[in-house]
Chain A
Amino acid sequence: MLRLEKRPAPSRFWLWAAPIVAVLCTMVAGGLMFAALGKNPIEALRTIFWEPLFGELAWYFRGQLLLKAGPLVLIAIGLAMGYRAGIWNIGAEGQYIIGAVVGASVGLAFYPAEHWFIFPLAILAGALGGMTWGLIPAILRVKFRTNEILVSLMLVYVAQTILAMAALGFLRNPEGNNFPGSRNLSQYPATANPELISGTGLHWGVVTALIVVLLGWLILSRHRFGFEIRLAGQAPRAARFAGVNPDRMVLICLGLSGALAGLAGIFEVTGPSGIISPDFNVGYGFTAIIVAFLGRLHPVGILLAGLLMALTYIGGEYAATNLGLPSAAVQAFQGMLLFFLLALDVFGNYRLRFGSGRAV
């Protein structure tokens, strides 16, 4: 008989082994899925994981890697802070959209003026927009004890409606021949967020993400606020005993993760995407949830997980065009990663025992 036995202390080995084993399990299960779809599994996995890094077109894909990883990491760090405190922001996608719309609105309000302060102002507005969207579920939870998971998720759909309104209405490009979509912010010099070093994919958003990784690590390991976050998540009553104000914690965590998601949104719309269009969002806010857990809610882990997840995005797209793999298969592949990770996390606190025996 198999049974699980609680460990006296959480295993440090499994903390970091679980994501690695989860990636391997995903490759095996994903390979089986690709085989069932009639594709050569080895070739599919090679296309996803190998080609973008070392294949013929690697010179192009490697730059894409940072472009995709930047927003994922930025959002995931904010989410991880909340998740560690037991505050579940599922609506980063909405905060990302609102950040982009508000930031773009502020930036385009100056069109066609040229001032140095327009770009920083737009970035700030994006962060504030995302923060506001994140604070809605926070305030509702603090005032009315609503569930922040539901409220933040529902606000994603509200945000998508606002995005459509912006793209078709108040932000529509007056010179765009009535096509939906705003002016291109990356072609408006005052708001452009270009590659800083050509071909690397490094733009201001990626730089911000790297700084946030460093700050996040510093806060979680060295600062009182990080300690309070971990305490609130692990032992809420002990946190209250220690003097942590749970309501304040909800406001800060949701506000912070909203602001970071908003930053990711405004950096995206001023850079790689350029245009506020109805299909502007591509799911970074949801994928960042996987990134946060895959990275063990640890800033450095999130950086690595963000790069890995960016790789599956790029490789998945490449496999879709090259091998005709349906894009849903690639999404299922990413979902498997989270599934295996959560399953393997059991081993962090429990160990597997063979044979019978009675627990007392």
Chain B
Amino acid sequence: MSDLLRIEGLGKTYPGVVANADVSFAIRPGEIHALLGENGAGKSTLVKMIYGLVRPDTGRMTLHAQAYAPTEPRAARASGVAMVFQHFNLFEALTVAENVALGMENPPPMKTLSARIAQVSGDYGLPLDPARRVGDLSAGERQRVEIIRCLLQSPRLLIMDEPTSVLTPQEVAILFATLRKLAAEGVSILYISHKLEEIRSLCDGATILRRGRVVASCTPRDKTAGELAEMMVGSALSAPARQPGAKGDVALEVAGLSLASPIAFGTALKDIRFAVRKGEVLGIAGVAGNGQDELLLALSGELRTAPGMVRIGGKDAGALRPTQRRALGLVAAPEERLGHAAAPDMTLTENALLSGALRRGLLGRGGFLRWGQAKDFASEIIASFDVRTPGPGAAARSLSGGNLQKFVVGRELLQSPSVVVVNQPTWGVDASAAASIRQALLDRAAQGAAVVVISQDLDELLEISDSFAALNGGRLSAPRPAQGLTVEEIGLMMGGAHGMEVAHASA
């Protein structure tokens, strides 16, 4: 069979960075082809070239045996190439049908369009009500809006960028069924991910990228996850070492925590209760936007609560501000690195001071700053956590995401905290850096800290948690021991497949 898309010697260089070099592979019609690689391996640049967002410096592409060089996404769409981005481009205040219409060249009347959306959503098992407002949809449902928007263009090639990072296991199952159905109809799918088990179960072929180059191609079903990981990273990864120590007294207790969200379209927290003991790691799973940000703000002290809702080391901390909670031993690392955990234009020394001033004694008499000690602290973080940077004088925004994340986590862990709260500690971080961050969190727990890890990465949570709970619509499921939990049970804790009930009701 002839190939649908053939890529030969594609390359793209940015000042100082080779994003892609001499990349060649081909996709057959009806094939689900995986593009596998770590963050920064060049997957995004490659698909942006296929989708016409970036123009390649070298190489050529052929589609349907014809030369293919899209200059803009509109040209790519006209050739039958569609793409679902990792970050959705949707207007929250508009309905599903209105959002779909906005993405079309010549949208039909709204009534016709709604009927077609309902039909496509029925055909492909993607339950979705065209009249609902996007602001009220879950992440999984928002993704369906994007997918249906693509399917209405009857694409020949569908590119999906990290589609499962925001889905519950049940939603993943629905998505995979849809993708297999599309493939059976002859649509080719280019599937970008770094989740190995997914690729093994879904994909027919895989191209593995490392540092912008193709390092291997294989049939994923014939390989173990370990072999795939090794090809992706280039070396064997060791799982974090755990020393199951004795658990001590309760260090952090949350009881009946309810709080309105300060964020537009945010999620209010509803009656959250859990307790974390010294030496224990509590993993909190959940699809983004289910109250993770709000929970971190309520724990770090950026939002204050009624008395008794948050207790640190037995002391009521509900009314305390971040500095006062640090004094009690609680440190926090928010999800958003630039702008929240760190000030982008400030140096690493200044950023070390940002949250470390109190516990590391960087304040002198009368509130004057000890710049020398602050610089030493920044250097210590850089050395202990292998942060790649010219030095403590570098601006935070000059660091790559992974390196800044190591700096932020290191800054908090090096304050000898008794309670650690982190949100998405390894988001956008390469595999080896992620492993070292997880190890550092476990080490801190072994030294007697209570650790709360909020994450969307289930594998990560199962790897490091002692107990496990899930956030869904601002409510937290009762924490359970992590050992012996199945993925199905976790999926149900996360709320199962969002939106299924609604679709059944309207069907």
B354:A242 contact, CB within 8 angstroms: yes
Residues of A within 8 A of B54 (CB): 358, 360
> How many residues of chain A have a CB within 8 Å of chain B?
22
Structural contact, A227 and B353, CB atoms closer than 8 A:
yes
User: B62 near A: Cβ within 8 Å?
Assistant: no
Question: Which of the candidate stretches A79-87, A159-167, A218-226, A327-335 sits at the interface with the other chain?
Answer: A218-226
**For B394, what are the chain A residues with a Cβ–Cβ distance below 8 Å?**
9
Considering the complex, which residues of chain A in the window 244-268 have a beta carbon less than 8 Å from any beta carbon of chain B?
Answer: 245
What's the dominant secondary structure at chain B's contact region?
Answer: mixed
Find the A residue at minimum CB distance from B367.
A224
- Separation in Å of the A154 CB from the closest CB of chain B? 29
Are A241 and B302 touching (Cβ within 8 A)? yes
Quick check: is A238 within 8 A (CB to CB) of the other chain? yes
Identify the closest chain A residue to B296 (Cβ): A241
Interface residues of B in 335-357 (CB under 8 A from A): 336, 339-346, 350, 353-355, 357
Q: Is A8 an interface residue (CB 8 A)?
A: yes
Contact at B55–A223, with CB atoms within 8 Å?
Answer: no
Say yes or no: A10-B346 contact (C-beta < 8 A), given A224-B363, A224-B368, A240-B302.
no
> Contacts A8-B398, A10-B395, A234-B345; is A241 near B368 (CB within 8 Å)?
no
Stretch of B209-217, B318-326, B457-465 on the interface side: B318-326
Classify the secondary structure of A's interface with B.
helix
- A241 contacts B355, C-beta separation under 8 Å: yes
Cβ contacts under 8 Å, B342 to chain A: 235, 238
Check B345–A10 contact: CB distance below 8 A: yes
Give Cα distance in the complex from A234 to B336, angstroms.
15
What are the residues of chain A within 8 A of B53 when measuring CB–CB? 360
Which of A10, A239, A245, A360 is the most central at the interface, judged by chain B CB atoms within 10 Å of its CB?
Answer: A360
Whether a CB of chain A sits under 8 angstroms from the CB of B195 is no
Asked if A243 CB lies within 8 Å of chain B CBs, one says: yes
Residues of B within 8 A of A360 (CB): 14, 45, 48, 53-54
Please judge, given known A-B contacts A9-B394, A224-B357, A360-B48, whether A245 and B340 are in contact too, CB under 8 Å. no
Q: CB of A231 within 8 A of chain B?
A: yes
B326 touches A243 (CB 8 A): yes
Q: Which of B302, B350, B366 is in CB contact (< 8 Å) with A227?
A: B350
- Cβ contacts under 8 Å, A10 to chain B: 345, 395
How many inter-chain contacts with C-beta < 8 Å in the A-B complex?
A: 81
Question: A239 to B323, alpha carbons, bound, how many Å?
Answer: 11
Q: CB within 8 A of B354: which of A241, A245, A358?
A: A241
Judge whether A223 and B369 touch: CB under 8 Å: yes
* Structural contact, A224 and B369, CB atoms closer than 8 A: yes
Q: Are A241 and B353 in contact (CB under 8 A)?
A: no
Instruction: Give CA–CA (A277, B14) in the complex, Å.
Output: 65
Residues of chain B within 8 A of A227, CB atoms compared: 350, 353, 369
| Contact across chains for A234 and B369 when beta carbons are under 8 A apart | no
> In angstroms, how far is the closest chain A Cβ from the Cβ of B63?
21
B354 touches A223 (CB 8 A): no
B334 at the interface (CB under 8 A from A): yes
Contact among B14, B45, B339, B395 with A238 in the assembled complex (CB-CB below 8 Å): B339
* Residue from A10, A225, A243 having most chain B Cβ neighbours under 10 A: A243
Given that A224-B357, A234-B346, A235-B343 are known contacts, is A241 also in contact with B369, CB under 8 Å in the complex? Answer: no
Assess whether B301 is interfacial by the CB under 8 Å rule. Answer: yes
Task: List which B298-339 residues lie within 8 A (CB) of chain A.
Answer: 300-302, 321-324, 326, 332, 334, 336, 339
Interface string of B14-58 (1 = CB under 8 A from A): 100000000000000000000000000000010010000111000
Residue B340 contacts which of A222, A225, A238 (CB distance < 8 angstroms)? A238
Confirm or deny: A237 has a beta carbon within 8 angstroms of a beta carbon on chain B: yes
* CB of A222 to closest CB in B, whole Å: 5
Complex: A224 Cα to B346 Cα, angstroms: 15
Taking a contact as CB atoms under 8 Å apart, the answer to whether A238 and B354 are in contact is: yes
B397 within 8 A of A: yes
Provide the bound-state CA to CA distance between A8 and B54, in Å. 21
A235 with B300: CB separation less than 8 A: no
> When the two chains form their complex, are residues B55 and A9 in contact, meaning their CB atoms are under 8 A apart?
no
* Nearest CB on A from B374, distance (A): 10
Nearest CB on A from B335, distance (A): 11
Please indicate the chain A residues that have their CB under 8 angstroms from the CB of B45 in the complex: 360
Q: Which residues of B contact A237 (CB under 8 A)?
A: 336, 339-340
Partner of B344, one of A223, A234, A240: A234
Judge whether B55 and A358 touch: CB under 8 Å.
Answer: yes
Distance in angstroms between the alpha carbons of A223 and B363 in the assembled complex: 9
Residues of B within 8 A of A9 (CB): 345, 394-395, 397-398
Output the least CB separation between B303 and chain A (Å).
9
Measured in the bound complex, the distance between the Cα atoms of B324 and A240 in whole Å is 13
> A residues touching B (Cβ–Cβ < 8 Å)?
8-10, 222-225, 227, 230-231, 234-235, 237-243, 245, 358, 360
Chain B residues close to A by CB (< 8 Å): 14, 45, 48, 53-55, 300-302, 321-324, 326, 332, 334, 336, 339-346, 350, 353-355, 357, 363, 366-369, 371, 394-395, 397-398
Given contacts A231-B354, A234-B343, list 20 more A-B pairs with CB under 8 A. Answer: A8-B395, A8-B397, A9-B395, A9-B397, A222-B368, A224-B368, A227-B353, A237-B336, A237-B340, A238-B341, A238-B342, A238-B343, A239-B343, A241-B300, A241-B302, A241-B332, A242-B322, A243-B322, A245-B321, A360-B14
Nearest first, the 8 closest Cβ-Cβ pairs linking A and B are: A243-B323, A235-B343, A243-B322, A9-B395, A224-B367, A237-B340, A238-B343, A8-B398
